[in-house]
Amino acid sequence: MIKTAPQLAVMREAGRLLGQVFSMLDSRVCAGQSTLELDAAVEAFIRHDLQARPASLGQYDYPFCINTSINEVVCHGMPDAKAVLKDGDIVNIDITLEKGGFIADSSKMYMIGAVAPKARRLVEMTFEAMWAGIRQVKPGARLGDIGHAIQSHAQANGYSVVREYCGHGIGREMHEEPQILHFGRPGTGLTLREGMVFTIEPMLNQGSAKVRSLKDGWTVVTRDNSLSAQWEHTVAVTADGFEVLTLQEGA
């Protein structure tokens, strides 16, 4: 669970490279692109340009490098040649990258063309909720502090928090302990220690928090077909606070 300084250095490099993947995507995610085309672009960039490994490919028998979750899709959307982005869509792209034996994990929302104000607000408030959770991270804080900050921000702005999926410890494995819930009570849960590394990745819905899984075994959608948004970063606990390992360069 606790990463050494040399291990953190490797994870920092994996996170830096993952930030470059999103920078590459910024000019590619647009109307007319299929999510399968985006998956191919990410795989080629990670393997050939960055000399790294797309960690999601083959994990739990998942056949793609990225998740592409459009509009009412909460998470784990599968790339598809028929899933072509169109004006007004919001889409979450979730990517993992392994370099030097350690994994970084991040996701980002993209707004395609002229997005409705309500959809734009959901995307922006979800981003703020993620950062409200990240800002709680420091030695001695509790996991419940993170969840409470996210939940409070979401509910104050009229959104529900998906409870079935959470953040997670990360390192040599994509999913390690502890689980990072995006709801909770302050002052409860595991105490944070320097060297812990985990993801914070809240999913907020416009309507009900209830979700359902599709027949493909991966795709999760809102039960009431309301819009959903998610942001994610990999975060390390430092001696006096936190370090976000997956920030984009220049962002």
Q: Is 76 among the annotated ligand-binding positions?
A: yes
Q: Is 164 among the annotated ligand-binding positions?
A: no
250 pLDDT band, cuts 50/70/90, is low
Give the C-alpha separation, 199 to 244, whole Å: 9
CATH architecture assignment, domain 5-244: Alpha-Beta Complex (3.90)
Give the C-alpha separation, 70 to 83, whole Å: 9
Residues 201-245 have pLDDT tens digits of: 999 999 999 999 999 999 999 999 999 999 999 999 999 999 999
Q: Is 233 among the annotated ligand-binding positions?
A: no
Q: Is 177 among the annotated ligand-binding positions?
A: no
Q: Is 153 among the annotated ligand-binding positions?
A: no
Q: Select from 156, 123, 149 the least CA-distant residue to 167.
A: 149
Q: Is 48 among the annotated ligand-binding positions?
A: no
Q: Is 168 among the annotated ligand-binding positions?
A: yes
Residues 89-118 have pLDDT tens digits of: 999 999 999 999 999 999 999 999 999 999
Residue 92 has φ and ψ, to the nearest 5°, of: -100, 130
Give the C-alpha separation, 240 to 140, whole Å: 10
Q: What single-letter amino acid sits at 31?
A: A
Residue 43 has φ and ψ, to the nearest 5°, of: -60, -45
Q: What single-letter amino acid sits at 56?
A: S
Q: Select from 223, 188, 233 the least CA-distant residue to 94.
A: 233
Does pTM top 0.95 for this prediction? yes
156 pLDDT band, cuts 50/70/90, is very high
Given a contact cutoff of 8 angstroms between Cβ atoms, the answer to whether 180 and 143 are in contact is yes
Using a 10 angstrom Cβ sphere, with 0-12 exposed, 13-18 middle and 19 or more buried, the burial of residue 13 is middle
CA distances from 22 to 16, 164, 175 (A): 10, 26, 21
Given a contact cutoff of 8 angstroms between Cβ atoms, the answer to whether 80 and 34 are in contact is yes
Q: Where are the domains of the chain?
A: 5-244
